[in-house]
Amino acid sequence: MTQGDSRGPAETAACPPKTPAAEAAVAPTSRGDALADNMRRIGRKVLVLSGKGGVGKSTVAANLAVALALAGRRVGLLDVDLHGPSIPKLLGLENERVEVADGAILPVVHETGLRVMSLGFMLGSRDEPVVWRGPMKMKVIEQFLRETAWGELDDLVIDFPPGTGDEPLSVAQLVENVTGAVIVTTPQDLAVADVRRCIGFCRALSLPVLGVVENMSGWVCPHCGRTTDIFKTGGGERMARETGVPFLGRVPLDVAFTTSGDAGRPVVLEDPASPAAEAFRRIVERLLASDADTYQDKPVRKEKGPMRIAIPMADGRLAMHFGHCQEFALVDVDVEKGSITGQTAEAAPDHQPGLLPKWLAERGAEVIIAGGMGRRAQDLFARQNIRVVVGAPALDATTLAQQYLDGTLQDGENICDH
């Protein structure tokens, strides 16, 4: 399927191309209404993301979706890794093809009842490349969301390619009320550094972060059962703590994990007693045990217009110790336009335990960019529906606010451990 093929995936798979007149007959408003109607029948919409390739993101997505289905939930799995769709292989469905009936794309149904959609079901062969630019990707993703007959679902898990490109941007623009993102990393510093940017990307798009999964966290010996930290361990958990997002758990490497993927049988189904399968069950339990308001790194609202960012300042730069700042820069921004609309400064009030969250909420702050802040203080701000970004560099307020809007803010270590 090449750049020159302008047909949508359903057309190339099962029906002849539409004429220009037929294509024009579908008004944008009706397409939008159909998308909204389809999405309203789905409960949670969970995005599985990573800022880096090779961390096992698709394997995590497949096992999470199957584990949710095994827990008795109605689940769909959408693969929007358009250039490397691996979900069909991971689920043993690589020889399946979708059908179109009554104008709807029928998803492939896995043995667990999981409903699956992937461009891999529509390619002529597994060696056929997909050479598409951004607008074509947007069109295909919209078609998957709008025209797939998902039915009533409790959860829709969406597997993305590595990075922060067209695919997650498209879904963020098309789908209202996304529940949030599960971020996948491996423990090494190199992987964690890239995944940090993925968390910044989510925050710039107002995508709540449900939590971090540390994949390949230790290797389990099949003979003695001991764990060896081949890729180190704890990097994902430390990053979650420093960036103020939940940590969902570690998934170890074991023989069952790797062989089951190649065999098209997710480890939670193939070897439910394995350490990896147990890790996925615990992750799913953490997602299901709490309602959305408690396990999300939630925004106050869908960021689409004006918003105020509060930044603690000292000597014209970010104060690295939050409680020791001289004043707060209150930066007004337009999220849709990605621009700063105004900026004022207020002297910091006298330090009193628990005062600042209420004081900043009264001044309309919805996001705080900080150098260091203790976990307890972050919890107090969360109760005021104020999101906290920690580990930011010591720059001026205008630069920090613009980097936040652009999704380029580099959040490092949280220097406060209280």
Which pLDDT tens digit goes with each residue over 81-111? Answer: 877 788 999 999 988 988 888 888 999 999 9
Higher-pLDDT residue of 107 and 377 is: 107
Residue whose tokens read 């001991």 = 226
Does position 24 have pLDDT exceeding 70, yes or no? no
Spatial distance between the Cα atoms of 397 and 257, rounded to a whole number of angstroms: 46
- pLDDT at residue 132, as a whole number: 56
Residue whose tokens read 């090779």 = 54
Spatial distance between the Cα atoms of 265 and 249, rounded to a whole number of angstroms: 22
Instruction: Find out whether 26 and 11 touch, Cβ atoms under 8 Å.
Output: no
Higher-pLDDT residue of 4 and 269 is: 269
Pairing of strands 306-314, 247-253: unpaired
Q: Which tokens sit at 251?
A: 């998934």
Fold topology of 306-406: Nucleotidyltransferase; domain 5 (3.30.420)
- pLDDT at residue 60, as a whole number: 94
Q: Where are the domains of the chain?
A: 9-295, 306-406
Q: How confident is the model at residue 329 (pLDDT cuts 50, 70, 90)?
A: very high
Q: Kindly report the backbone phi and psi dihedral angles of residue 269, in degrees, each rounded to the nearest multiple of 5, phi listed first.
A: -100, -40
Listed range (65-74, 93-102, 147-156, 211-220) with the worst mean pLDDT: 211-220
For 141, the enclosing helix (H) or strand (E) is helix 134-147
Q: How confident is the model at residue 130 (pLDDT cuts 50, 70, 90)?
A: low
Pairing of strands 317-318, 306-314: antiparallel
Question: 144-167, pLDDT tens digit by residue?
Answer: 899 999 999 999 999 988 766 667
- pLDDT at residue 125, as a whole number: 56
Spatial distance between the Cα atoms of 107 and 330, rounded to a whole number of angstroms: 48
Q: How confident is the model at residue 218 (pLDDT cuts 50, 70, 90)?
A: low
Mean pLDDT of 263-292: 83
- pLDDT at residue 291, as a whole number: 47
- pLDDT at residue 190, as a whole number: 66
Alpha helices, DSSP H only, in 76-133? 87-90
Burial environment of residue 42 by CB neighbours within 10 A (0 to 12, 13 to 18, 19 or more)? buried
Higher-pLDDT residue of 132 and 303 is: 132
Does position 287 have pLDDT exceeding 80, yes or no? yes
Say what the pTM is. Answer: 0.62
Spatial distance between the Cα atoms of 202 and 362, rounded to a whole number of angstroms: 26
Listed range (180-184, 248-252, 406-410, 414-418) with the worst mean pLDDT: 414-418
Mean pLDDT of 24-38: 60
Q: How confident is the model at residue 2 (pLDDT cuts 50, 70, 90)?
A: very low
- pLDDT at residue 380, as a whole number: 77
- pLDDT at residue 42, as a whole number: 93
Higher-pLDDT residue of 78 and 167 is: 78
Report the Cα 271 to chain-centroid distance in Å.
27
Mean residue pLDDT across the chain: 78
Does position 5 have pLDDT exceeding 50, yes or no? no
Does position 297 have pLDDT exceeding 60, yes or no? no
Instruction: Looking at the structure, give the CATH architecture of the domain made up of residues 9-295.
Output: 3-Layer(aba) Sandwich (3.40)
